[in-house]
């Protein structure tokens, strides 16, 4: 059940007024004490206001089972407080110390092949291990009782990147916990057999003890078993989050609790829509994967994080000042990228901007990961840039506390559908759920329209157009919500492979797209996915688009009660409908897009599908080049303009400039530049 956010702003501001918090993970245990004093002085120089401390310090806080040393951490908190830096204190449970895994190797996770994942890295613990849970909570209680009243403490940071490396554990502990979870979900063995369709391949179970996680088998495991295990694994991590959170709240009820999500690229194993209500502050880590559309992915991730937070402010807990260390090629950030990336996160609601980490390590696996203070020291371009960024964020203090303004368009995102479309034995293994959603979000940005990325279960009120990209898992309740949206005058766009299965991954009978078939006014008897390198040409029926290209997928559509907006010109379905739209009484409509359109075609189609209530708010010359995000406060709006190009862009807009350059009526955006305008309502 969602929790009521605590009054964070009053605690963290400490009478200094609202502001965008700025800082980093701080790991002083890696450095001699004389460096700590220099660090705090440099933090003040860089404008740092908050530091996350203690993330990976369990082995130093508890060097042996019956030995504790918390004094050094107290010294760090004292030093930071004296320097005016607030502390987000980690519970330090992310990586168990060697003495614990030596004494209790049963806490170590096991992969699907039955191999133990040994110490030497991080996150070597089972989310369902009662032994690990007991030791972790003992550490949490010690920290809470020792530092709960410390004046530097403004938030608790539970664990760290829960599930980054240990989300799917196939151990005996996991098997036992999985059976308990299944009993709670399905009730009886008979109901589980029905849900899993175990009549297929002689999989019918007679006792709960017969059920295992989907360990390595000779063929892909039962698809519903896989989907339930994905759900269970996310829930098991969430239960650990709850256990630490509940203990912290019992001891320090006035200190807000957070944990860092990983809404980025292909981090798929945690259903953050079900986690967001468990924390007082939604926090996220984001790292860019270089590529042609890297900023679009960053914007999508920040947007989705804002959606998880319900439009309220959230924290960017980690990102990088420059290169990371874990990609095949780790590229340094180019001029302008750091500020542009930060502005994008703040635009979508980030009220704290933090890096991993403060000082670049000299040893360990992340020694080549960039930091606020790089190996070159403070006399470096990176440190000068982060210090300048601190001043920029200080100037954006009026934005703090404002909420993201609802956009006219919503793109829905669903972890169940992501998991289900990633399984084997589908009509095509070329489905890329997240990329498909990103491309739809980008298409609206290309035509200058604001869009919110929302969890699939979010409230749709106020969104003129809702897009459901590959919303594959569709129970009757979800289909009813979309139908209600359309029948209430709203507009819906669904894309290929949507509405096909129910919550148990059972196919809806009667023809595709299953649960959405009647709403869309179409019927599909057979999928016709495309081979690698194969494409089809489409033409809009109004002649506006004659060179559209589709890849990955096509459908053999029978039109029952819908208008054909575009048809296939080539391929197995030549002459048949490719894009349809059904109008319903009350002014709403439901459209179907049956292929993966290229960017030019998708932008053209978006223009065709946009209702008048979703018109662009940007001047014509800025559309496609500038992303607009709006945050709103008391009687004022903050318009964030982000240049998506490497060329200068001039935008004619009124408003007071909080960040950027104004020249008369024009706001000038440099390459990869940005601006923030304050506009009275």
Q: How far apart are the first and last CA of the chain?
A: 35
CA 222, CA 233: separation in Å to the nearest integer? 16
Out of 21, 244, 297, 318, the active site residue is: 318
CA dihedral 315, 279, 482, 490 (to 10 degrees): -40
Helix 223-251, helix 189-196: angle, nearest 10: 120
DSSP-derived pairing of the beta strands 409-413 and 636-643: unpaired
Q: Are 371 and 357 in contact (CB under 8 A)?
A: yes
Give me the count of residues in the chain. Answer: 681
CA 611, CA 607: separation in Å to the nearest integer? 9
Cis amide bond preceding 357, omega within 30: yes
Q: Name 426's Cβ contacts closer than 8 Å, sequence gap at least 6.
A: none
Q: What angle do CA 641, 642, 645 make, to 5 degrees?
A: 135
Q: What angle do CA 537, 543, 546 make, to 5 degrees?
A: 25
Q: Strands, E, within 365-456: which ranges?
A: 403-404, 409-413, 451-455
Q: Are 485 and 427 in contact (CB under 8 A)?
A: no
Tokens coding 376: 């070159």
In Å, how far are 73, 401, 467 from 10, measured between CA atoms? 25, 11, 37
In Å, how far are 4, 89, 254, 401, 565 from 11, measured between CA atoms? 16, 14, 9, 13, 54
For residue 266, indicate whether it is catalytic.
no
CA 400, CA 351: separation in Å to the nearest integer? 6
CA 211, CA 214: separation in Å to the nearest integer? 9
Cis amide bond preceding 562, omega within 30: no
Q: Are 556 and 525 in contact (CB under 8 A)?
A: yes
3-state secondary structure of 18: coil
For residue 637, indicate whether it is catalytic.
no
Q: What angle do CA 494, 431, 548 make, to 5 degrees?
A: 60
SS3 per residue for 536-605: EEEEECCCCCCCEEEECCCEEEEECCCEEEEEECCCCCCCCEEEEEEECCCCCEEEEECCEECHHHHHHH
Residue positions annotated with a catalytic role = 161, 318
């Amino acid at each position: 059940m969602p929790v009521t956010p605590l009054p964070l702003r009053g605690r963290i501001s400490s009478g200094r007024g609202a502001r965008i918090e700025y800082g980093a993970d701080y790991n002083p245990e890696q450095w001699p004490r004389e460096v700590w004093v220099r660090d705090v002085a440099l933090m003040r120089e860089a404008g740092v206001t908050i530091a996350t401390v203690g993330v990976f310090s369990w082995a130093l806080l508890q060097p042996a089972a019956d030995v504790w040393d918390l004094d050094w951490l107290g010294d760090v908190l004292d030093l930071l407080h004296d320097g005016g830096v607030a502390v987000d204190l980690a519970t330090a449970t992310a990586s168990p110390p060697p003495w614990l895994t030596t004494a209790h190797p049963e806490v170590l996770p096991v992969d699907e092949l039955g191999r133990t994942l040994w110490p030497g890295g991080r996150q070597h613990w089972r989310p369902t291990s009662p032994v690990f849970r007991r030791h972790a909570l003992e550490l949490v209680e010690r920290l809470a009782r020792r530092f709960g009243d410390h004046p530097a403490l403004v938030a608790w940071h539970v664990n760290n990147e829960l599930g980054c490396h240990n989300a799917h554990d196939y151990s005996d502990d996991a098997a036992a916990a999985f059976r308990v979870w299944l009993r709670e979900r399905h009730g009886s063995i008979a109901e589980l057999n029905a849900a899993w369709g175990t009549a297929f391949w002689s999989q019918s179970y007679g006792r709960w003890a017969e059920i295992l996680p989907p360990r390595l088998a000779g063929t892909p495991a039962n698809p519903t078993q896989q989907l339930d295990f994905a759900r269970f694994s996310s829930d098991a991590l969430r239960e650990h989050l709850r256990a630490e959170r509940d203990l912290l709240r019992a001891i320090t009820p006035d200190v807000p609790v957070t944990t860092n999500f990983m809404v980025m690229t292909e981090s798929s194993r945690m259903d953050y829509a079900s986690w967001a209500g468990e924390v007082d502050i939604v926090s996220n880590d984001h790292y860019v994967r270089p590529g042609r559309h890297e900023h679009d992915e960053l914007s999508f991730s920040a947007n989705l994080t804002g959606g998880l937070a319900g439009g309220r402010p959230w924290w960017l807990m980690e990102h990088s000042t420059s290169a990371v260390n874990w990609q095949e090629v780790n590229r340094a950030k180019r001029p302008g990228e750091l500020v542009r990336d930060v502005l994008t996160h703040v635009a979508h609601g980030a009220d704290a901007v933090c890096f991993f980490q403060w000082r670049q390590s000299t040893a360990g696996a992340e020694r080549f990961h960039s930091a606020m203070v790089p190996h070159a020291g403070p006399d470096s371009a990176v440190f000068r840039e982060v210090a300048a960024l601190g001043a920029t964020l200080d100037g954006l203090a009026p934005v703090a506390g404002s909420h993201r303004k609802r956009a006219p368009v919503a793109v829905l995102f669903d972890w169940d559908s992501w998991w289900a479309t990633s399984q084997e034995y589908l009509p095509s293994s070329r489905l890329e759920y997240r990329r498909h959603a990103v491309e739809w979000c980008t298409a609206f940005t290309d035509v200058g329209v604001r869009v919110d990325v929302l969890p699939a279960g979010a409230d749709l009120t106020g969104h003129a157009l809702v897009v459901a990209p590959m919303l594959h898992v569709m129970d009757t309740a979800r289909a009813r919500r979309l139908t209600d949206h359309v029948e209430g005058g709203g507009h819906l766009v669904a894309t290929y492979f949507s509405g096909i299965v129910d919550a148990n991954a059972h196919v809806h009978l009667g023809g595709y797209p299953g649960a959405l078939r009647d709403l869309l006014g179409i019927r599909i008897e057979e999928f016709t996915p495309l081979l690698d390198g194969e494409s089809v040409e489409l033409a809009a029926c109004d002649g506006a688009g004659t060179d559209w290209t589709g890849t990955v997928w096509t459908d053999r559509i029978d039109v029952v009660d819908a208008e054909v907006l575009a048809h296939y010109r080539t391929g197995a379905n030549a002459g048949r409908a490719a894009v349809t739209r059904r109008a319903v009484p009350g002014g709403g409509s439901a459209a179907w897009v049956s292929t993966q359109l290229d960017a030019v075609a998708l932008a053209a189609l978006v223009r065709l599908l946009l209702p008048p209530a979703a018109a662009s708010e940007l001047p014509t010359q800025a559309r496609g080049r500038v992303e607009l995000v709006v945050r709103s406060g008391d009687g004022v709006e903050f318009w964030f303009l982000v240049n998506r190009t490497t060329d200068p862009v001039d935008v004619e807009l009124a408003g007071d400039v909080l960040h950027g350059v104004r020249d008369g009526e024009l706001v000038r955006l440099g390459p990869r530049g940005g601006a923030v305008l304050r506009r009275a309502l």
